[in-house]
Amino acid sequence: LNAVGIGIEISVWRGNNVGNMSLLVAGALFLNGISWTAYGHLAENLYFTVPGYFGIAFGAVQILVWVIVRFIYHG
């Protein structure tokens, strides 16, 4: 579920248009990954921790792509 935005990231990167990608959704994915990772560490359960790390990574990449396309390509 965390990797759903990869296709959107590719289209945003190729088209240099952030209209298809929501920064709010990317931020929510990032924060959701942080919360599940923290819960997994507190519960000492890798079944929550490992997917949480993937959520953090995918959310960070989506935010980074949004910022790069929005501010670097469009000035």
pLDDT in tens, 8-52: 778 888 888 888 788 898 899 999 999 999 999 999 999 999 999
CA distance 47 to 66: 29
To the question of pTM greater than 0.95 for the whole model, the response is: no
**Own/partner long-range contacts of 8-11 (Cβ < 8 Å, ≥24 apart):** 9/61, 9/62, 9/65
